[in-house]
Amino acid sequence: MSIPVPEKRVAEFENFGLGMFVHWGIYSQLGQGEWIMNIAKIPKDEYKKLADTFNPVKYDPEKWVAIAKAAGAKYITLTTRHHDGFSLYDTCGLCDYDAPHHVGRDLVREFVDACNKGGVAPIFYHTTLDWYQESFENDFPRYLQYLRDSVEVLCSNYGKIGGMWFDGNWSKPKGTDWEEDKLYEVIRRHQPDAIIVNNTGLDARGAVGNREIDSVTFEQGRPTPMDREGHEKYVAAEMCHTMNDHWGYGSCDLHYKSLPDLIETLCACRKVGANYLLNVGPDGEGEIVMMQEALLRELGVWVKTCGECIYRGKPSKIHAVEDKNFALEADGKAYLFIHNMCVLGDANVTVNGNGLGPKNFDRVRRRVKRVRWTDNGEELSFTQDREHLVMDATGYPYGKNYVVRVAEVEFE
């Protein structure tokens, strides 16, 4: 059986590698996460008052774009409408529960303009679950038409977009007819090059749905390799991940992942060819909080050590003997990702003093010409016996530790 060739939009999406997810809405004012209306059982009439107090005076989408680019992200996925039903965009008369009616600004328009100016792809998250619209529970066919009309507004009024990212089909019983063909037809008619994603949630990570879906999702969990042999369509993969325990702004959520965790998770995604969509939750005024900005900027320092292989690199048949290590291939070269390296220096000041020495890789089926670190160009000694490669890994120069180090392998 053969693996299908990815369509152009899918191949381009895979090469994005890293994206920034943004969960932001009127719930951000409360600083208790994006599900607070549901979790705290806030009555709809009380909750919707947040639309009148929403005052995003620090919303600067150009700064958002700058932070994303500093991290090395190639796209930003923004919650244009989350489950509470409030839209950050002009719904063009479909509903008055939107930013233009309550803030006097089309916040999505400003976002798209900033993305286009900064050279990152704008992708629109849009809920399919709606706690505000009564028709979601009482007249589902009518609600689905409202959903399609909303998506048509987004696909018609903002120029070329990178994609549509849906979330919420898991909220209805299995077998519910969401009329997905009609929904995706709207997108294909207006945005033929847009990626279509429909999040399968925590209970169905990696599940492939409708034939128009371009990427599966792995929410809050390490992605697994995709089995594409014999399939009709090449489908990409993406893992979405929070920095702490909430998607929306949590003012008292201090449970942040460490920078090494984020680096190793990005590596785990790229190891199997999946994109890494890392979330931020701006506060109620629209500002990305300092901790999240800092983590993104420092992640970008690591991304720069890899060069283009973190974007264009594809999973390799080259097999690492040591745990966690792996290989990608791009542009006729292999890239070896080495974990658990140590810093060179006096034993009185260095820690984690192992990880040096031989690193073993099997199934290397071409003759190796040269091996070097991508971060400083240092050439490494190696031996090769048929399909077995042993590279002599040197430690980090004192003053550096990139968590995962990448070696470029050139072939004869």
Looking at the structure, tell me whether residues 264 and 397 fall in a common domain.
no
Residue 326 within a domain: yes
Q: pLDDT, tens digit, for every residue of 136-155?
A: 999 999 999 999 999 999 99
Looking at 311, 342, 359, the residue that finishes a domain is 311
Q: pLDDT, tens digit, for every residue of 295-339?
A: 999 999 999 999 899 999 999 999 999 889 999 999 999 999 999
Looking at the structure, tell me whether residues 302 and 329 fall in a common domain.
no
Looking at the structure, tell me whether residues 114 and 217 fall in a common domain.
yes
Provide CB contacts within 8 A for 103, sequence distance 6+. 54, 55, 56
Looking at the structure, tell me whether residues 152 and 242 fall in a common domain.
yes
**pLDDT (0 to 100) of residue 208:** 83
Looking at the structure, tell me whether residues 56 and 164 fall in a common domain.
yes
pLDDT-wise least confident of 1-5, 157-161, 201-205, 217-221: 201-205
Looking at the structure, tell me whether residues 336 and 260 fall in a common domain.
no
Q: pLDDT, tens digit, for every residue of 8-48?
A: 999 999 999 999 999 999 999 999 999 999 999 999 999 99
Distance from C-alpha of 235 to C-alpha of 272, rounded to nearest angstrom: 13
Share of the chain above pLDDT 70, in %: 97
Looking at the structure, tell me whether residues 307 and 363 fall in a common domain.
no
Per-residue pLDDT, averaged over 386-394, amounts to 94
Distance of CA 159 to the CA centre of its chain: 22
Check pLDDT > 80 for residue 349: no
Residue 3 within a domain: no
Q: Do 109 and 341 touch, CB atoms closer than 8 A?
A: no
Per-residue pLDDT, averaged over 351-371, amounts to 87
Q: Do 342 and 352 touch, CB atoms closer than 8 A?
A: yes
Range of the domain at 193: 8-311
Per-residue pLDDT, averaged over 203-231, amounts to 85
Looking at the structure, tell me whether residues 331 and 294 fall in a common domain.
no
Residue 89 within a domain: yes
**pLDDT (0 to 100) of residue 348:** 66
Looking at the structure, tell me whether residues 273 and 161 fall in a common domain.
yes
Looking at 282, 311, 340, the residue that finishes a domain is 311
**pLDDT (0 to 100) of residue 404:** 96
Per-residue pLDDT, averaged over 240-262, amounts to 97
**pLDDT (0 to 100) of residue 352:** 62
Token match 């996925």: residue?
77
Check pLDDT > 60 for residue 353: no
Number of domains in the chain: 2
